[in-house]
Structure 1
């Protein structure tokens, strides 16, 4: 085999070169002695066999100690090495026997020969089949039975029956026939078992050579009893080296494919050639019997009939399995596998059929359903919880409609309902029933959860276009969703314009990312009471070519809904770290991260790349997350810990507005909490601001008050004990150049800011 990049050559191993050369010598010597007589003293044939097996032991040891191989592979090659070692002992005993060391050596060698065969056979018997279903396993069993029955008949007729030539039946002849049949059929079975095995840990090519080794060793041992013109009376000096060489090739291929990182899973065909090979062989035997009139003709005919019946049964099972598979494929083509509901394709066909079969006066309604804030469930609690919630939604919806109505899952958290024969108030009543059912709490993973949905309705009649109705229902659904309160909305003319505006905004935002229309502003974080700048929060702005500078409220929702929040967040992160790397001293930069970003498995690597490329030390970057993100599991918590391991600081933003609990502070690896602006004292109660500060101190966290707009608020927070603050009283968000000037001014004067900074635009 030619060597390819990353793959070592098959022959680039001294032990493999040695075993190949020695096998060539062994085969050549055997052939020569068959035709010309003895070349050297007979005992040397056994020494030559040992010389072939020893490099095979070395190659087996290479796989056994290869750290790249799976444990099951290493254990198997350890077994091969033990079995092959027994055959070395067999050859040594036969060598001593040829020298006349004692007649007891041959029986002992036979016992060790059988023991070695059992050791090598056992792990192959345990290889699992690639078939998984019960029907396929039964089919594979019938295939093996057919093949082994045919092999057994052939071995009996041409080998084992020879032991009873002349009608003589003795225990020794019976034992010889049993050994011949057992070794031969076992070799065929093991070779077929390897071909049908479903263990991807093994190199597939190496596995086939293992099967070849079993076939050569089994059949060869059987034929060795019958060979009449053998060099010095034993065919094993050829059979066992050939079997050892096949094992050596398998071991070498395992090492080569493991080093190249190759895994070649077996391609499972829907048919098998094995039973046909067996039938062909037995039919040939029938013809042979009819021509030669052999003594075991009745046995041949009986086996032929039996095998034909087995193949017929096998085909019947295959046909039934194919019918079942076809039914399953047909079902899967039209249904959602998670919920069991109709999928988009089947729902579209059903809508088209209902419209075609309904008269002009027969009403029907199509409703598209979208679960509100479902992505937060996936992003914070994991997809397993999200899937369980979807199954619950499907059950509640199906139980809330009539049997004739169709409920479908179109994908993700989007569902659809087809109401046949009703419209208007009847549909409204059904949707109210569904909405109420979804609001009833359900326990998922021990936690009570409710679902709010938005419904878009379109009423139709027979003859309407299915595509138009679905499009209008979708527009109405997005109109309902845009209110942010759930409930339903019926399609009205003119709704398309608002939907088109949303699509245009997403397209424009995508263009803004490509053309770098986005800019980052920075709002300083200062000390209390003096107002010295300690860092800044990065806030994205859109320099729209027509509308001017836009704040995040104008486009963040569109970015979240479209998925653009991930590339947008990455851009902000990289821009903020590049800018912060130019700041003097230990000034920090804070970057807000969305739940969708944090759910990305490669997010820590994105942060590490931004730090590396910018040169900003990790401890000067603070990643700000909301509480809804912090309570998530799965990749969210793993990513939070990975960020901490990088040395990045974590901050809980808008603290107090979400799931703020002591357990959250105890389990979430954050360094800082930011008091939400709604809790900043403004002539009212200070209890929440004080409680948040006390919790922060109790957990050793830094507390930052944001949204400070007046001197009185700053003074009161200072009296409570806050040491960090952020807000319009100190500075509005500003371009990077203005922040650099403010920092330089503060440093040059060697004093804290005495007047609030004035930014340029927006918050």
Structure 2
């Protein structure tokens, strides 16, 4: 703002009027008639009227009711009441010259109380009961000290030229100024709120001026009364005008609003100002006292000086402590907004940046990036090497991102990129760029690893919050993982509906487990050459009370994702072992030797799974040779915990079957690295007429024979498939052609029948 604009800022006119009135009165008194006290008080009256107007304007003519309006209107009232004191002083000066009658002292004290009342509109920090007691004690100490001080002056004849009543009234006003200084100082160091802190610091000088005026007045000299007329009331009014003008400048933007650090200096400066003024007055007064009186006064001054020095040291210590706290707060904020490992912005910082874009109605898209199978890397290489890989990933994402994009680490192996666009082409290209950055080989010690990631794309829509955008990105990212990993998927509303449906099914599945809605069926495994039932695979079914039989393809993936596969697997294991034990009692000699039970990788991760299997066998009276656990290739390579569990189970004598063999990426290496007893050929190698798949099936049969493993063909649904598998020398198989899944009683009855030729 220019100087001309500042000159036109609201509140300047009353200040100019006050300055002119003060200058005019001072000129008249010192040049024309120094004994005309009435004219001096008249100048004070004009200044206080200007102060009342200035404070009223600072409150705002059309401002709504609030703390600032109430504060400045009370100060306007204080100036108006103090104006009455100047009128009373003018009348008193016309009568007897030097006096402060009761009708002058009362408005002055009332003005002080109104001014102190104004500070209730300032938002002070919350005070405890001890804080209030401390404030009351401070005020009481000041009041007692002030009373003792002024009593001593009165009893020792100070101000002998003034009547006793006038001196008592002036002393009461002086004590009131001391109390006001306590209130003003306490309020000025709590500058939160609409009132400018610079204005508060100026207002805190009013009781200092009042106290100095009272001390001068009590001297009872003509010079003292002259200074009081010119400097007392007029200076108080001018201070009010200056504070109101400062508030007007702050409201209009002409000056920057005061800060807490500057306002906090008001308290010690007030103590220093009061101490200096009081010290000078006391030392001047003590010149006319006897030696003992001077010693008492000088001793009091020394004590006061020591207390002031102590106060300043305390303030310095508090300032240093406050600086340390602020530095610690800045460090904590930096820790909260940045990731300690990678140096990238944290989830909190990403959410803040996303919220700012949404609040500004700017386009925003979040890419949620998760490194696929990172848990295996962490389990294999260790946390330290995994952290190094995360740092390399962070550096690549940062290097391949545009300057307008924000890369952050949300936690674990999950990263995010904030894009300033919602254009599908732009956001999809960014997702491809991020995947390409992850796809480059990374170095870990002497190893070179290939990483890949799944990316979810979520663009902000109308009314979306940052949490919703992040949640949508997570949903899309998990959809990318479900679709085969190493790809990107854009969020669609139906995905949230699917997730809601999954959550509903998971809740019903939990209820089904607790209320016995699960059923167990058994699909026989036959000897393809003799036609004899050789074994059976236990399969879980869900008999829903409303929807009937729910397909395993519907609830098993949800159970694995929600963790419910653990209690379901435990139930299947117990029921299957119980059923086999019953078969062996009811059909001795013809019952199958072992039952096949599918085990999910989530179960193998459980620390007590091997113990659970051992306890189940013991409770049902079976041995380890009576149980075959079917596992997938992905479970075998999940991590060291799963590997340890499999080795322990095999050492217990439990046979392990590798299910869906041929669908993984490292099937042949698994046969040498892990304890496998049975290979179950996936049905995709049995279906169709693809000669290449048939060749693989024949190779698997030959490989199993050479390694001493049992080979079982799955999904036999046609007679030509059965004939072809026999030609490939597969000894065992299962499928709808041979037998569908059946109840325990039906399967037991099948065991009791003699062997029959297997045909359509």
1:325 & 1:663 partners in 2: Cα distance?
55
Q: Which residue number in structure 1 is paired with residue 705 of structure 2? A: 697
1:563 & 1:662 partners in 2: Cα distance?
30
**Within 5 A, what are the aligned runs for 1:109-120?**
none
Q: Which residue number in structure 1 is paired with residue 555 of structure 2? A: 555
Deviation at 1:589, TM superposition (A): 0.8
Does residue 1:524 correspond to 2:524, yes or no? yes
Q: Which residue number in structure 2 is paired with residue 604 of structure 1? A: 610
Cα deviation digits, residues 89-109 of structure 1 (max 9, x gap): xxxxxxxxxxxxxxxxxxxxx
1:513 alignment partner, SS class: helix
1:539 & 1:741 partners in 2: Cα distance?
18
1:555 alignment partner, SS class: helix
Q: Which residue number in structure 1 is paired with residue 671 of structure 2? A: 665
Are the counterparts in 2 of residues 382 and 632 from structure 1 also a CA contact under 8 Å? no
Relative to structure 1, the CA distance from residue 338 to residue 560 in structure 2 (aligned partners, 3 Å threshold; closer, same or farther) is farther
Deviation at 1:340, TM superposition (A): 4.5
Deviation at 1:605, TM superposition (A): 1.3
1:337 & 1:571 partners in 2: Cα distance?
44
Are the counterparts in 1 of residues 422 and 459 from structure 2 also a CA contact under 8 Å? no
Does residue 1:350 correspond to 2:344, yes or no? no
TM-score, normalised with respect to structure 1: 0.51
Cα deviation digits, residues 659-695 of structure 1 (max 9, x gap): 3454421221111111221222765534222211221
Are the counterparts in 1 of residues 658 and 676 from structure 2 also a CA contact under 8 Å? yes
Are the counterparts in 1 of residues 719 and 759 from structure 2 also a CA contact under 8 Å? no
Relative to structure 1, the CA distance from residue 660 to residue 752 in structure 2 (aligned partners, 3 Å threshold; closer, same or farther) is farther
Deviation at 1:532, TM superposition (A): 0.8
**Within 5 A, what are the aligned runs for 1:717-728?**
717-728=725-736
Q: Which residue number in structure 2 is paired with residue 753 of structure 1? A: 756
1:629 counterpart (635, 660, 678): 635
Deviation at 1:326, TM superposition (A): 7.7
Relative to structure 1, the CA distance from residue 667 to residue 735 in structure 2 (aligned partners, 3 Å threshold; closer, same or farther) is same
Are the counterparts in 2 of residues 424 and 459 from structure 1 also a CA contact under 8 Å? no
Q: Which runs of 5 or more residues in structure 2 are unaligned?
A: 1-320, 585-590
Are the counterparts in 2 of residues 379 and 632 from structure 1 also a CA contact under 8 Å? no
Deviation at 1:482, TM superposition (A): 5.4
Does residue 1:713 correspond to 2:713, yes or no? no
**Within 5 A, what are the aligned runs for 1:522-601?**
522-584=522-584, 585-601=591-607
Deviation at 1:419, TM superposition (A): 2.5
Cα deviation digits, residues 402-435 of structure 1 (max 9, x gap): 3453333334554332234775543332222112
Paired residue total: 431
2:520 & 2:562 partners in 1: Cα distance?
21
Deviation at 1:484, TM superposition (A): 4.5
Does residue 1:457 correspond to 2:463, yes or no? no
2:520 & 2:382 partners in 1: Cα distance?
31
**Within 5 A, what are the aligned runs for 1:321-720?**
332-336=335-339, 339-356=342-359, 358=360, 360=361, 362-371=362-371, 390-420=390-420, 424-442=424-442, 446=447, 448-459=449-460, 465-478=465-478, 483-484=483-484, 487-491=487-491, 496-584=496-584, 585-680=591-686, 685=691, 686-720=694-728
Larger Rg: 2
2:708 alignment partner, SS class: coil
1:369 alignment partner, SS class: strand
1:582 alignment partner, SS class: helix
Are the counterparts in 2 of residues 478 and 499 from structure 1 also a CA contact under 8 Å? no
Cα deviation digits, residues 74-93 of structure 1 (max 9, x gap): xxxxxxxxxxxxxxxxxxxx
Q: Which shifted more, 429-438 or 493-502?
A: 493-502
Deviation at 1:633, TM superposition (A): 4.1
2:516 alignment partner, SS class: coil
Are the counterparts in 1 of residues 369 and 456 from structure 2 also a CA contact under 8 Å? yes
Q: Which runs of 5 or more residues in structure 1 are unaligned?
A: 1-317, 758-763
Are the counterparts in 2 of residues 622 and 649 from structure 1 also a CA contact under 8 Å? yes
2:460 alignment partner, SS class: strand
Are the counterparts in 2 of residues 624 and 651 from structure 1 also a CA contact under 8 Å? yes
2:327 & 2:702 partners in 1: Cα distance?
66
Q: Which residue number in structure 2 is paired with residue 737 of structure 1? A: 745
1:416 alignment partner, SS class: strand
1:380 & 1:734 partners in 2: Cα distance?
42
1:581 alignment partner, SS class: helix
Are the counterparts in 2 of residues 731 and 756 from structure 1 also a CA contact under 8 Å? no
